[in-house]
Amino acid sequence: MKKEDIFDNYKDYIMPTYTKVPLVFTKGKGSYLWDIHAKKYLDFFPGWGVGNLGHCHPKVMQAVRDQVSKLIFIANNYYHLPQAKLAKEIIYRSFPGKVFFCNSGAEANEAAIKFSRKFGRGRYEIITFEDSFHGRTLAALAATGQKKYQVGFEPLPEGFKTVKFNDIEAVKNALSDKTVGIMLELIQGEGGVNVADKDFVLELRKICDEKNLLLIIDEVQTGLGRTGKLFCYQHYGITPDIITLAKALGGGLPIATMVVKKEIADTLSPGMHASTFGGSPLVCRAALAVLKTIQKEKLLSYAVKMGDYLFGKLDTLKEKYPLIKEVRGKGLMAGIELNIEGKPIVEKCIEKGLLINCTHDKVLRLMPALNITKGQINKALSVLEEVLKGA
C-alpha cells in the first residue's frame, strides 16, 4: 500500500480522534525510527512515554517471542507464572502491597478511583489538580483538571474537587468529611511538565495520614525510570498509598497496574473489579523484561547522568534564546516553556528528522529513551537550536 492509500484508509475508516502528523513509520530500533520512504528519524518522544527502553528493545522482543510460542492469553480466573513473577517484582521495587493488572493508564486510574470509593465507605471525594491528566474514561476525565478535555462529555461523574497545583492552602480548603483521597502526578506531563514541590508533597502525605485519606500518585508517565528513579515518588521520601503505572511498563505492549499498600489491599474482594485482558502472560513477560533491563543495564543511574547532561545543554540554550521562558523537569523528562507557540517548532524539528512533542501550547516536551547516548542528545539539541534560531 502506498502512503496516500494509507492516509485514505485512515480518512475513510478510522475516527478522526487524533491530530496526526503525516508520517508512516515502518521500523524502529532504539531511539531511531524509519518511515515508509526509509527516512531515518531520531525519536526524542518515543511512544508518548511508552518507549523508556526505546523501540523494539531486544530483551523485550526475545521475551515476547518466547511467550507467544507458549501461551498468549489465559483468563484471570486461572493462574500463570508471568503474572505471579511480575507482581512480586513490582512490589519488591515499590512498597509492600498488592497489584491489580489492567491495560491502560486511564483504566489503572479508574481502578484507583473505584478502590477509593470502596475504601471510603461513603466518603468518595477525591481532590485533584489543575492541569493534571489522568486519562479519557469518564471518571479519569472527571479527575483531569483540564476543561478542554471535558467539554461536551458532561455530565461527568461526581466526586472530584480540582484545586491549584502546589497550593497546600487550596487543598486544605477543599477538604470535607466526604474526602477520601488526593490524586496527583508528581510531574504533570500533559499539563506542561510541572514539578510538584517537595514541601507540598510532604504536606499532602501528612494531611492524608491525619485524616485517613489515600494519597494516590499517578505514575503513568513518570514511572519506570523516567525521572531517574524507578518511581518518581522515590525522589520525595514518601510512600504513597496507591500508585498507578502504565505507559512504559510493557515496553510497547499494553499493560497497566494499580499498586495498593498492603494494609488496605484486600478492600476489593472477588467480583468487585476486573479486566479481561489485564495482566496476560504475554504482556507480563514483556513487563518483566522491561524491569530486568532497567536493572541490568543500570538505566536509572544512567538516566540521571544523561538527564544532567541534557538539562545542562538546555540551560545553555535558554541563556542564548530569550524565546525560551523556562526549562523544567527531572531525569529524562524535560519541558521547555517558550514565549511562542510550540507547534511550528515541533513541525520544523520533524522536517529535520527529530521527533519531539509540544504540550499545553507552549511547552516543548523531550522524553528520550533512558538508554539515549550523549551523541544523540548533541544531535537533537543541535537540530532544536537550528530551529529556534530561525523562529
Ligand X SMILES: *Cc1c(COP(=O)(O)O)cnc(C)c1O
Q: Which residue has the cell 534560531?
A: 389
User: By C-beta, is 222 or 376 nearer to ligand X?
Assistant: 222
Cell digits of residue 320: 542564548
Taking CB under 6 A as the rule, does residue 106 contact ligand X? yes
User: By C-beta, is 218 or 337 nearer to ligand X?
Assistant: 218
User: By C-beta, is 185 or 337 nearer to ligand X?
Assistant: 185
Q: Which stretch binds ligand X (CB under 6 A): 132-140, 146-154, 269-277, 296-304?
A: 132-140
Cβ 56 vs Cβ 371: under 8 Å: no
Q: How many residues does the chain have?
A: 391
Cβ 103 vs Cβ 277: under 8 Å: yes
Cβ 180 vs Cβ 116: under 8 Å: yes
Binding track over 227-246 against ligand X, x by CB under 6 A: -------------------x
Cα–Cα distance, 308 to 255 (Å, whole number): 30
Q: Which stretch binds ligand X (CB under 6 A): 29-37, 129-137, 334-342, 359-367?
A: 129-137
User: By C-beta, is 143 or 324 nearer to ligand X?
Assistant: 143
3-class SS at 202? helix
Taking CB under 6 A as the rule, does residue 110 contact ligand X? no
Total chain residues near ligand X (CB under 6 A): 16
Q: Which stretch binds ligand X (CB under 6 A): 25-33, 185-193, 326-334, 355-363?
A: 185-193
Taking CB under 6 A as the rule, does residue 221 contact ligand X? yes
Cβ 233 vs Cβ 240: under 8 Å: yes
List of residues 6+ apart from 55 with CB closer than 8 A? 28, 29, 30, 31, 32, 33, 43, 46, 47, 252
Cross-strand bridge partners of residue 184:
217
Taking CB under 6 A as the rule, does residue 218 contact ligand X? yes
State which of residues 105, 145, 240, 278 lies at the interface with ligand X (CB under 6 A). 105
- Please report, as ranges, the residues that interact with ligand X according to CB under 6 A: 49, 104-106, 109, 133-135, 185, 189-190, 218, 220-221, 246-247
